[in-house]
């Protein structure tokens, strides 16, 4: 592992101890003095007629994103996309002081965040948990780590299978981060934040034009924080310069490089109680700060170095080219000493905690290139034709070691410690067991795709597309020398029909499909027994409606059925064989609301009802709440003062597919106060969990369940120059 070069730490700590970060009071989201310009890679531009003159300008919709290229790879009004899409905009990120994807998904209907073993993002979209379905500017960013939002303009949640656009995986949906890039706009920003549990953070955003043909932008961040969890600490920093060039009137080139480091404690939460409650077990009752295991020997380090290049060229006559490249190196290590089983009891009846340990190191090199040709054809029937190709290579080394308790050479893999003091500080040795992974994997993808967005009449539109992926994987077990190879040929269709009875309303129906190769989302599970089987398959049927109630206020609704197929299971007639069966089935309804009710009142919220089952069993999928709901309000009293009030609810979930442990539902209330000292200086106070509710926020399995944060306060300051 590379050492963390935190030379910025003294300066950052000094600045962060004075004041603090995100968000700036404004006169309403449509009139923010600090509202960033839309990123030029996906501009929000609308023509308006003014006395016969066409004026083209950037439009700020506050909590609403009007257009995106992520869902179709073309610049498209989201109302014309036959798919549920939720966009968390820069204004909402700022107003809620969001800093990671767990913050984001609270306001995405039908989405939650699993624990991820305390070392990675694990969103759950439509009942499907994933550690790989994260993208940045439309390109795969699939190594397991915690992502930060310091360089992000907005986050787009695209629901349902998205293989036509994003390739393999994405069974329940994907999260795409749109980054801040140089765009010839002048940006001068410094954000400072401090708060509960020694939260200290500084972030900067600086950019300007160097000439008519060149511009730069640099975003950066440093954070040093603790937590309500005993022994927990996190330190991370990142810097992301981007450069834009216009060598010709119709060509734009953008280059970027990000270096990001994250060091923290792997926090696996608390175990479950052995006591049954209404036929199920619950997490143990203990103080939310209690750490089971050893935080001092549970480090997580993640280093990311990523280079990006984008070339846009307009040939004229409706034909354009877009070529994107991302080369990324990831170095990830985590180790945890954690609760590995439920609470038990000794002979005297005293409760005991079961402690286990292991570590895992992953080094991955990603290279992806996408080339898209878009041709807009006007005629009796209008077409937006997309033809594209993607090439990619991923090389991964993975090493896992088991923790052995006691003297050197011990074979003991778990110990019992008193529940009253569940820390383990005794001898511990890490070495490979007979089953620990030591693998080298090379995955290659070559894909082509074709899509047509058809405007049949002023009222009817269609989206028809298909993608073909050839996915090759070479797998080597370094322990045994065994090598395996597999090739999957994946066809991913997408069909959608949109009906617009009147201009602000669209009704749609769609069908989409994706595949997950047998090597798994992290390409680590290929074996002789499973590689011969067809990939897992996910099919999504969806109907929905989108309505722009008034300009800047959007209401959406969607109903869907998502079915998982080709799941490997034992043959009931022959225990020596395996067969493919249908997997979980998810049905759901979701509603979203975002935008401005009045010039001073902005809202963002949603509701989702979901139901799932696992065929041929009485079990339900894990991490699938029957109901979730959220609503955030911001109201500005005048040019200087504003407040925010929000709540979100998550129903009961099962911690795993065993359905033995229930994580009970909860409602949490948040608030904020915004105050502008001047047009260039703003203060913001965010209160989380206002009523100090005790709850459990996420789980990884039946014995890794994370308590929610007690009441917390964060003070932020924003400077614009």
pLDDT in tens, 365-383: 999 999 999 999 998 899 9
pTM, 2 dp? 0.91
Q: What is the pLDDT of residue 6?
A: 36
How far is Cα 543 from Cα 560, in angstroms, rounded to an integer?
6
- Cβ neighbours of residue 160 under 8 Å, at least 6 residues apart? 83, 84, 126, 172, 173, 510, 512, 540, 542, 560, 562
- Band of pLDDT at residue 60, cut at 50, 70 and 90: low
For 380, list phi and psi in degrees, rounded to 5: -60, -35
- Band of pLDDT at residue 49, cut at 50, 70 and 90: very low
Q: Which letter, b or e, does each residue of 93-121 get, where b requires 16 or more Cβ atoms within 10 Å of its Cβ?
A: bbbbbbbebbbbbbbbbbbbbbbbbbbbb
Q: Are 711 and 687 in contact (CB under 8 A)?
A: yes
Running DSSP on this structure, what letter comes out for residue 412?
B
For 189, list phi and psi in degrees, rounded to 5: -140, 140
Q: Are 35 and 49 in contact (CB under 8 A)?
A: no
Q: Is residue 214's pLDDT more than 90?
A: yes
Query: Quick one: average pLDDT of 548-568?
Result: 94
Question: Residue 166 in 3-state DSSP?
Answer: helix
Q: Is residue 14's pLDDT more than 90?
A: no
- Cβ neighbours of residue 671 under 8 Å, at least 6 residues apart? 643, 644, 645, 646, 686, 687, 690
Q: What is the pLDDT of residue 581?
A: 78
Q: Is residue 29's pLDDT more than 70?
A: no
Question: Residue 614 in 3-state DSSP?
Answer: coil
- Note the Cα 642 to chain centre separation in Å: 29
Q: Are 535 and 568 in contact (CB under 8 A)?
A: no
Other CB atoms within a 10 A radius of the CB of residue 16 amount to: 23
Q: What is the pLDDT of residue 690?
A: 98
Lowest average pLDDT, out of 447-456, 524-533, 643-652, goes to 524-533
Which superfamily, per CATH, for 9-437+522-720?
A: TonB-dependent receptor, beta-barrel domain (2.40.170.20)
Strands (E), 99-232: 111-113, 123-125, 128-129, 134-136, 139-140, 152-159, 173-179, 187-195, 199-211, 214-226
27 vs 213, which has greater pLDDT? 213
Q: Is residue 707's pLDDT more than 60?
A: yes
How is residue 502 written in tokens? 């009147």
- Band of pLDDT at residue 309, cut at 50, 70 and 90: very high
- Band of pLDDT at residue 209, cut at 50, 70 and 90: very high
Question: Residue 515 in 3-state DSSP?
Answer: strand
Q: What is the pLDDT of residue 55?
A: 35
Query: Quick one: average pLDDT of 175-203?
Result: 97
How is residue 389 written in tokens? 């190709």
Tell me the C-alpha to C-alpha distance, in Å, between residue 287 and each of 88, 265, 290, 696.
Answer: 33, 19, 6, 12
Q: What is the pLDDT of residue 519?
A: 92
Q: Are 337 and 428 in contact (CB under 8 A)?
A: yes
Q: Is residue 260's pLDDT more than 80?
A: yes
- Band of pLDDT at residue 56, cut at 50, 70 and 90: very low
Q: What percent of the chain has pLDDT over 90?
A: 86
Query: Quick one: average pLDDT of 192-213?
Result: 97
The conformational region for residue 117 under phi > 0 = left, psi -120 to 50 = alpha, else beta, is: left
Q: What is the pLDDT of residue 61?
A: 62
Q: Is residue 31's pLDDT more than 80?
A: no
How far is Cα 404 from Cα 536, in angstroms, rounded to an integer?
36
Q: Are 167 and 390 in contact (CB under 8 A)?
A: yes
Q: What percent of the chain has pLDDT over 70?
A: 91
Of 321, 450, 451, 457, give the one whose Cα is nearest residue 382. Answer: 457
37 vs 165, which has greater pLDDT? 165
Lowest average pLDDT, out of 486-490, 496-500, 565-569, goes to 565-569
Average model confidence (pLDDT) for the chain?
91
SS (H, E, C) 251-303: EEEEEEEEEEEEEEECCCCECEEEEEECCEEEECCCCCCCCCECHHHCEEEEE
Q: What is the pLDDT of residue 578?
A: 76
How far is Cα 468 from Cα 448, in angstroms, rounded to an integer?
6
Q: What is the pLDDT of residue 39?
A: 41
Q: Which letter, b or e, does each residue of 170-183 get, where b requires 16 or more Cβ atoms within 10 Å of its Cβ?
A: bbbbbbbbbbbbbb
Q: Are 202 and 225 in contact (CB under 8 A)?
A: no
């Amino acid at each position: 592992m590379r050492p963390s070069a935190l030379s910025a730490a003294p300066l950052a700590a000094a600045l962060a101890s004075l004041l603090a970060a995100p968000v700036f009071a404004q006169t309403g989201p449509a009139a923010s003095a600090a509202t960033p310009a839309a990123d030029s890679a996906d501009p929000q531009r609308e023509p308006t007629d003014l006395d016969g003159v066409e004026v083209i300008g950037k439009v700020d919709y506050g909590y609403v994103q009007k257009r995106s290229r992520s869902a179709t790879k073309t610049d498209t009004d989201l109302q014309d996309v036959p798919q549920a899409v939720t966009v968390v905009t820069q204004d909402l990120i700022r107003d809620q002081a969001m800093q990671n994807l767990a913050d984001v998904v609270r306001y995405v209907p039908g989405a939650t965040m699993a624990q991820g073993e305390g070392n990675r993002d694990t969103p759950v979209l439509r009942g499907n948990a994933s550690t790989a379905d994260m993208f940045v500017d439309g390109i795969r960013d699939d190594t397991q780590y915690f992502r930060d939002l310091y360089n992000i303009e907005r986050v787009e949640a695209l629901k349902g299978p998205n293989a036509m656009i994003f390739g393999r995986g994405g069974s329940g949906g994907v999260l795409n981060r749109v980054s801040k890039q140089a765009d010839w706009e002048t940006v001068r920003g410094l954000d400072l934040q401090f708060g509960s549990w020694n939260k200290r953070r500084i972030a900067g955003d600086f950019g300007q034009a160097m000439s008519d043909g060149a511009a730069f932008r640099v975003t950066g961040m440093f954070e040093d924080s603790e937590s309500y969890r005993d022994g927990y600490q996190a330190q991370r920093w990142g810097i992301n310069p981007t450069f834009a060039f216009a060598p010709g009137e119709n060509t734009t080139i953008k280059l970027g490089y990000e270096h990001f480091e994250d060091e923290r404690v792997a926090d696996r939460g608390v175990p479950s109680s052995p006591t049954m409650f209404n036929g199920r077990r619950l997490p143990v009752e203990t103080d939310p700060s209690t750490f089971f295991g050893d935080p001092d020997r549970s480090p997580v380090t993640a280093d990311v170095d990523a280079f990006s290049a984008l070339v846009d060229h307009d040939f004229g006559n409706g034909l354009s080219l877009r070529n994107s490249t991302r080369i990324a190196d990831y170095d990830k290590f985590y180790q945890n000493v954690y609760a590995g089983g439920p609470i038990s009891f000794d002979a005297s009846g005293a409760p005991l905690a079961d402690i286990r340990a292991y570590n895992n190191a992953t080094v991955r090199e990603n290279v992806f290139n996408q080339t898209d040709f878009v041709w807009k054809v006007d005629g009796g029937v209008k077409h937006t034709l997309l033809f594209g190709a993607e090439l990619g290579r991923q090389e991964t080394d993975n090493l896992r070691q088991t923790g052995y308790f006691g003297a050197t050479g011990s074979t003991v893999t778990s110990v019992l410690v008193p529940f009253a003091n569940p820390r383990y500080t005794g001898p511990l040795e890490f070495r490979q067991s007979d089953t620990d992974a030591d693998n080298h994997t090379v995955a290659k993808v070559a894909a082509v795709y074709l899509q047509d967005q058809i405007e049949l009449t002023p009222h009817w539109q269609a989206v028809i597309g298909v993608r073909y992926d050839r996915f090759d994987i070479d797998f080597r077990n370094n322990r045994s020398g065994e090598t395996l190879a597999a090739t999957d040929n994946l066809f991913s269709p997408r069909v959608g029909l949109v009906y617009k009875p009147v201009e602000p309303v669209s009704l749609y129906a769609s069908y989409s499909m994706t595949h997950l190769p047998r090597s798994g989302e992290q390409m680590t599970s290929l074996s002789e027994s499973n590689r011969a089987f067809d990939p897992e398959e996910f099919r999504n049927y969806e109907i929905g409606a989108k309505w722009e109630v008034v300009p800047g206020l959007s209401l959406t609704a969607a109903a869907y059925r998502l079915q998982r197929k080709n799941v490997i299971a034992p043959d009931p007639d022959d225990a020596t064989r395996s067969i493919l069966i249908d997997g979980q089935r998810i049905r759901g309804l979701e509603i979203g609301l975002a935008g401005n009710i009045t010039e001073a009142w902005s809202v963002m919220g949603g509701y989702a009802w979901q139901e799932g089952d696992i065929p041929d069993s009485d079990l339900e999928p894990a991490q699938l709440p029957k109901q979730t709901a959220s609503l955030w309000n911001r109201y500005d009293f005048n040019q200087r003062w504003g407040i925010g009030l929000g709540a979100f609810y998550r129903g009961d979930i099962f911690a795993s597919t065993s359905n033995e442990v229930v994580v009970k539902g909860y409602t949490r209330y948040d608030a904020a106060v915004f105050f502008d000292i001047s047009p260039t200086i703003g203060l913001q106070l965010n209160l989380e969990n206002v009523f100090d509710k005790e709850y459990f926020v996420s789980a990884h399995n039946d014995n890794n369940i994370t308590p929610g944060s007690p009441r917390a306060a964060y003070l932020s300051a924003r400077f614009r120059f």
